A and B are shown apart, each in its own frame.
Chain A
């Protein structure tokens, strides 16, 4: 009897340690039951793709639809569609692009729970239409320009098309290069392409070149190549040793008559200043003031080219490995004669050359094409208004170059 009682506190203790319920509240049990299948699956053809529509199941555990198919390269791939993209009636519609051949493709649709559990696939066959990107190639034109070429394009279609350009000098195959640019849906225009090669701002000019062009969709499917012979018109890259910035003060971050801001403290002794854009070193850059308080947009600066030139284009390189710069700029130019009062550039006779977009995610030099205008200028003012504010308060430029025809 007493032995039994001896056991009792031990029992109680083990209950206490083992079966102790905790007072947490608000945890949920995850519903991972397999949702019902999707219904009313319909596949219709579009150029280079198939449009699928279906009804999402009403199962509570349904979270997304997975569509599995074999892509143009023969690999199995999938697309995922959250239930939140359905319309109010629970209807989903999507187009799967990137097909080249017009042969039937099987699509398997899985209605998945949060952890991907499902009741198996609903299969549907769709036949993609012929893709559009090859058709864009037919309307490509190539014309000589100053220090490069102009690639004319017309995209009448509803999707993005990429134009791939490769080039080489007919006489010297070592002068070669390539580039690619995207053409938006329903757009037409002409893209200036500088025919750069090597590492030191070299480019092909005034000699015959062979240009090879093809178009691509967004899925790395490419059209056939086409070649063109062009001779770019002559330009020169201006020697920056003659340049200056009005009112430049190496030791201060404050605004002067030549710029609104620079960082003369926080980036070190040889960085952050306006003149860092002209030193041929992409590791140094102009940075608007951040130490002891950020200077706000608009940001701007003026370059004095030392003498008057006829400008063909300007090239701006952002801060390398940084995505927080400005997203565009407005260019003004002023002739020697237009610069009346040297102490007050704001009163000069500035000519507006228009606004240009700038991609902060791109570390390559970005072109400002002035070949249509060919302005005469000794002074260039780069004005970066509030509308071009990027992800931060700062404008940042690592290199700034000017191309001129005389």
Chain B
């Protein structure tokens, strides 16, 4: 059943039961002490008794008013009649016949989020007046109390429609990616545009920011992004940093220390598990190849593989073989059995001394626990003229990797300042500096999956041991192989001035803004020769000799200038008009330098990593590059609404880009949207339980940067030498690197969004639902031209792609007695479909079909249907009779993919093998017998939040997950022995067929790779259902009572414990973490974090 109907039904359910709750409105408390006279004095406080600074106290209907001071106090003269007390975010109160000089007014927080101000492109709007699918979250809700080192990863599950994926929990190497509402093209990754305080940013830059500096993040999901024009196709993420708030200065510190522990480990065998799996497989294979059913005969036919080619006489002089009188020779079965018994052996094999040690555990040697910490200091405040927010942050986070440092450190400093020069003129500036250093070993991270390590890890001298291939022990690479260092430095500066023309025209302002950004990314990879030794220190082998140093510096500079003219006014009480016109100019230049020396270090173990200390040679690398682009844009937004009931908004942007040919240079992007507030209609007023109900629609066109190069319109010319002429000789020739086209332009997305926002039950329940369709009508695709063309042709705007989906969010906030609590859920789905690829006649292949099938998503998984396992030879014979043999019984049918029938060979169908279904009923098993198993993209992503507060105790839990995703695992571990010389996936242990276990889930164990591929490769049993739910964050905090803390001169003291990724449930049954992705050749476990933190405010 389609989930959309489910949700619609659920909505009906909610609204019918909600009617009864209508009367449950909370009473506003108010205590007024009266006194005679027309001067009133008092104090305004919030529910917690804290003074509210800057609250407005005014005689209703007059201009006679004042605001509260830093202590929340006020004095109002001529207070005749009703006095209204109001403050943003709180419910206004009207006090009739206010009298006295000791008024104590408690304002109740207004839970109605409709009054929230939402950051939209080049402006702000009240949430109530939004016409588009824009979701904003407060920075404090997401980043506070979270220890996760990546700012991007912290956003996972927070915003419906924004899918955040990661492939690792290693700090600085998370592999995080954003996607808003699914894919929009077969080109690129459909990553959204990130704007940080009005300037183009990137995921890397966002990750460098301290989450505590972020005031809010706003996500433009539909064509409201069109105000960002040619870069907006995948949506826009607007990050806004915190500014000083009018009132008393606050100095706050928050710090935390956390412990990282292992979460889900890669499901790889321990030595004893591997030996058991090996024996089972080899015994089964020996049973087939020997043709015997006698256990002893079968056992004697077992191939002992590596145990035959290794081993030798023991060096333990007490271990004498009674049969020979000489030291026992451990080889073959004898060696195998000794290991299975857990014996540690030192053996002479030729001139190498082998050390066999089945008690060692590679995973324990590689991964342990780590400690991370975070500190953040903030000073902020503002008076009537000057506001400031200064913050400094430091963070150090490490992964669980034991043998070497693997982690990141972050430093950040920021000053956001506001200055009101006059009543009409206002300036604000932002300056920030962020530095992020990631360091990890350059070699062997995530390794340790290749060999089952029955050997010692280090030899008797403490050096990395390896007699096997001479170069595979990952402890060698991790400890001696060199480092990878990555530094990202971001400097941002921005100044803006706003002049309010209120003296001339009410509601007209002009804002000029200039911003500069410099990002420098330096990476350095050093690699050293890693020497391996046998047990006594004889050199066995080495890798990556002689060593190398590679360094890459990249620098981006971005200048962004803009001027915006804003007008906003209300006519005749009901007609609200807002208009904005603006112009922006942006230029970004990029410069790269890369250097490399590949002849090894000058001095072994010098400990200093510098290019000068590496040997230069004829293979040095020295590369550079430089590029630049500019964008000139005109913007406008015009909106009109009547009585907040009917609204229409138009926004447009005209982008001119240096990247395109003059013919295609200018292009318009726009959106038209509107809403109808149904709850504003008179006939809806009787529904008292309904606070707000708004229907929205948005249509527009946005552009995609994907597939357009910086120097798109220029063809490069290369020179060389060609032999030509009647008397053939070499001549200098030149040729074009590729053809260019002046027909090429941005991929343009047509987008429709239908939305519904509602708040019910005295603003306690709020929610929204959106449905969208995005169509990419000019997707870049390659077109085949005749060979005579002579050069590679550019891709053309001739493909078509569509994404559809929906989002749903529901939040409930209420208070029962002293307990404040809230529950929220959001879920969303997006599915993509390739609609047109010119001349495409592709048929599905078994496995993952990427960007090649019309009518299917970008990554469509096709597999064979299977029907259990053969239980006996007769079933096998019947299967061969039905599907294998041709009419004359002389050979296989045409297109047959079954392994040939045979005796005493392992790669043949036999009891315990898997049956593949003849899906198309043509009487044979061919590569056409596959079906569509689903979409490899993450679908139905959701977040679930619950929080409560009671007497200073706060509790928050946040779950995140994916409801639908199919994964066909790649690599070596998706099934047992599909690569038969590596460690194995231990989740298959004990679940494989045998005559004693005929109802087993998996096929009979075998070390025949081809036989195992028959049983598992691209079969339905290997498709992992990747749905999961994970406890992303759990926070329990306690704020000390104010009465205690004020005595110590502190405003607030809070302790908290928090945990990240503490628990998960998943349908994945091959043992991998659901966020791992497809890959399996990796031992790095996901982590969990336990944190203790402290918040102090002075």
Contacts and interface: CB of A to CB of B under 8 A. Distances in A.
Determine if chain A interacts with chain B: yes
B1091 interface: no
A361 to B, nearest CB: 12
A16 B878 contact: no
B875 interface: yes
Given A13-B1029, A82-B882, 10 more contacts: A1-B24, A15-B6, A19-B1, A21-B1, A24-B934, A63-B878, A64-B882, A84-B882, A114-B882, A116-B874
B878 A112 contact: yes
B878 A6 contact: no
Contact of A8 (B13, B932, B963): B13
Interface residues of B, number: 53
A4 interface: yes
Contacts of A80: 877-878, 881
Of all A-B residue pairs in the complex, the 8 with the closest CB atoms, nearest first, are: A26-B931, A9-B825, A80-B881, A1-B21, A82-B881, A25-B932, A24-B933, A16-B963
Nearest to A13: B944
Nearest to B6: A15
B885 interface: yes
Contact of A4 (B17, B823, B887, B1020): B17
Contacts of B559: none
Interface in B930-956: 930-935, 940, 942, 944
Interface string A102-120: 0000000000101110000
A109 to B, nearest CB: 14
Contacts of B18: 5
B10 interface: yes
Contacts of B966: 22
Contact of B825 (A2, A12, A63): A12
A228 interface: no
B878 A64 contact: yes
A208 B225 CA distance: 104
B536 interface: no
Nearest to B13: A8
Nearest to B961: A17
Interface string B865-892: 1010000001101100110010100000
Interface string A65-106: 010000000000010111011000000000000000000000
Interface stretch (B138-146, B392-400, B669-677, B810-818): B810-818
A20 interface: yes
Given A13-B942, A21-B1, A5 B14 contact: yes
B20 A1 contact: yes
A84 B923 contact: yes
Nearest to B945: A9
A28 B13 CA distance: 36
Contact of B932 (A16, A21, A26): A26
B435 interface: no
B249 interface: no
24 contacts: A1-B20, A2-B21, A5-B14, A5-B17, A5-B812, A9-B812, A9-B824, A12-B10, A13-B825, A13-B942, A16-B940, A17-B961, A17-B1029, A19-B1, A20-B3, A20-B964, A22-B966, A24-B933, A26-B931, A27-B919, A64-B878, A64-B881, A82-B923, A115-B867
Interface string A19-62: 11111111110100000000000000000000000000000000
Contacts of A4: 17
B917 interface: yes
Which of B816, B825, B961, B1020 has the largest count of A CB atoms less than 10 A from its CB?
Answer: B825
Contacts of B814: 2
Given A20-B940, A28-B917, A81 B881 contact: yes
A165 to B, nearest CB: 26
Interface in B878-921: 878, 881-882, 885, 887, 917, 919
Given A20-B964, A28-B919, A84 B935 contact: no
Given A12-B10, A16-B940, A80-B881, A23 B934 contact: yes
Given A80-B878, A84-B887, A115-B867, A9 B944 contact: yes
B592 to A, nearest CB: 42
B1027 interface: yes
Contacts of B923: 82, 84
B223 interface: no
Nearest to A26: B931
B563 interface: no
A328 B18 CA distance: 90
B867 A30 contact: yes
A114 to B, nearest CB: 7
Contacts of B875: 115-116
A23 B6 CA distance: 16
A17 B963 CA distance: 6
Interface in A98-147: 112, 114-116
B3 A16 contact: yes
Contacts of A112: 878
B103 interface: no
A112 B878 CA distance: 9
A5 B814 CA distance: 11
B827 interface: yes
Contacts of B853: none
B587 to A, nearest CB: 45
B162 interface: no
Contact of B885 (A17, A25, A82): A82
Interface string B3-33: 1001100100110011011001000000000
A84 B882 CA distance: 8
A8 B931 CA distance: 36
B765 interface: yes
B332 to A, nearest CB: 23
A78 B7 CA distance: 58
Interface in B797-832: 810, 812, 814, 816, 823-825, 827, 831
A4 B932 CA distance: 40
A150 B311 CA distance: 55
A24 B931 contact: yes
Given A1-B21, A2-B21, A8-B14, A20 B878 contact: no
Interface in B1009-1046: 1020, 1025, 1027, 1029
A299 B1 CA distance: 67
Contacts of B6: 15
Contacts of B878: 63-64, 66, 80, 112, 116
Nearest to B885: A82
Contacts of B934: 22-24
From A66, A80, A81, name the one whose CB has the most chain B CB atoms within 10 angstroms.
A80
Interface string A224-244: 000000000000000000000
A149 to B, nearest CB: 33
A4 B944 CA distance: 17
Nearest to A114: B882
A78 B874 contact: yes
Contacts of A13: 825, 942, 944, 1029
A1 B931 contact: no
Given A12-B825, A26-B931, A28-B865, A6 B812 contact: yes
Contacts of A5: 14, 17-18, 21, 765, 812
Contacts of B20: 1
A2 B13 contact: no
A197 to B, nearest CB: 28
A51 B724 CA distance: 78
Contact of A25 (B816, B882, B931, B964): B931
B933 to A, nearest CB: 5
A9 B1027 contact: no
A136 to B, nearest CB: 25
Contacts of A23: 831, 932, 934-935
Contacts of A24: 931-934
A35 to B, nearest CB: 13
B877 A85 contact: no
Contacts of A21: 1
Contacts of B816: 2
Contact of B942 (A8, A16, A82, A115): A16
